[in-house]
Amino acid sequence: MFRRLFGRSQDAPRTEEEAQQEEQKIEQATEKSRRGLFGQIAAMFAVDDPISDEFWEDLEALLIQADVGVETTQYLVNRTIDRVNRNGVKRIRDAKDMLRAEMVSVLQENAAPKAMAAKPYVVLVTGVNGVGKTTMIAKLAHRYKTQFGKSVMLAAADTFRAAATEQLETWAQRVGVPIITRGQGADPGAVVFDAVDAALEQGVEILIIDTAGRLHAKANLMKELTKIRNIISRKLPDAPHEVLLVIDATTGQNGVLQAKSFMEAVDVTDVAVTKMDGSAKGGIAFAIAQDIERPIRYIGTGERMTDLAMFDSQSYVDSLIAA
């Protein structure tokens, strides 16, 4: 069951117990959303009234308020209406599973299991300043090391933001993993060059690289990220194996717009959503999946090192509207 839910990536839950723990984290992260607008959506389906145009209009309004986004909301509602009509559903109560199926479908459209056979497996982490990128890196390192027994190394290639290197060094010490740094103002490419060399020499399994998030200087950012990718690929032709874009759930649609701009500068493969537990509008996940067209891989579920869950579409949707 848990393999069906969380997929077959090598960092997916390996036992039923681990899967249940991940589901509990997702439920905790969506508590505000479940008590808020998605609770209202679930309540709409608790009646046995006939389906009407007014019902669809009310559903659309609530989804938009929940940060699903106008286009994604219209897509979801229209697909649900089509499914309802195909199945001959006439009562509101019976339409809930139709909406659930379409919500899951949107979130799964770009999902695919990760093969992590490369050594080192290189993860390039990117995102706008202030989204919780550094903390996400620490949580990832902790997850790989503690839960899956991988050897992990960090690289502090965000040399532009003040205190970025120091923050990452502090997290590396807490997690108990090595870190390659050159300090603020250093050449990010030189940091990455050193990190790849060190990872190869030491037989490290996972190399996680922090990068700058200067969206206001997009041309420079694009140039810098391209340089970093080229440095990595010279030594490891297929790397980076994963480019993880970090988005702050509490920024709502603004976060989606930022992410779209950011993707013009870097070839993103996956998305991590932070601060989900602080948002009452869990619809942001659907907007990300539909507008950015990249799979959500992780969600931050709290402030502790262990507050990170692998994203699962079915668990997420159920946590929002199961009531």
Tens digits of per-residue pLDDT, 1-57?
Answer: 444 455 545 566 667 887 888 888 888 888 888 888 899 999 999 999 999 999 999
Q: Identify the CA nearest to 257 among candidates 276, 278, 283, 284.
A: 284
Please indicate, yes or no, if residue 173 is contained in any of the structural domains. yes
Q: Which of 103, 108, 71, 34 is nearest to 279 (CA)?
A: 34
140 part of a folded domain: yes
Q: Which residue has the tokens 């589901």?
A: 23
What is the domain count for the chain? 1
Of residues 8 and 191, the one with the higher pLDDT is 191
Percent of the chain with pLDDT over 90: 55
Assess if residue 222 is contained within a domain. Answer: yes
Q: For 206-239, how does the pLDDT look when each residue is reduced to its tens digit (9 = 90+)? A: 999 999 877 666 677 778 888 999 999 999 999 9
Q: Would you say residue 125 lies in a domain?
A: yes
DSSP bridge partners of 95: none
Residue 129 lies in a domain: yes
Cα–Cα distances (Å) from 64 to 57, 75, 305, 315, 323, in that order, read 11, 12, 32, 21, 20
User: Looking at residue 205, which CATH number applies to its domain?
Assistant: 3.40.50.300
- Length of the chain (residues): 323
User: Which secondary structure element, helix H or strand E, spans residue 320, and what is its range?
Assistant: helix 313-321
* Residues 137-189: tens digit of each pLDDT: 999 999 999 989 999 999 999 988 778 889 999 999 999 999 999 877 889 99
Residue 4, pLDDT score: 44
pLDDT of res. 2: 47
**pTM for the predicted model, two decimal places:** 0.89
Is the pLDDT reported for residue 89 higher than 90? yes
- Domain housing 141: 121-312
Q: What is the pLDDT of residue 131?
A: 87
pLDDT in tens, 248-296: 888 877 778 877 777 777 788 999 999 888 766 788 899 888 888 889 9
How does the average pLDDT of the chain come out, rounded? 88
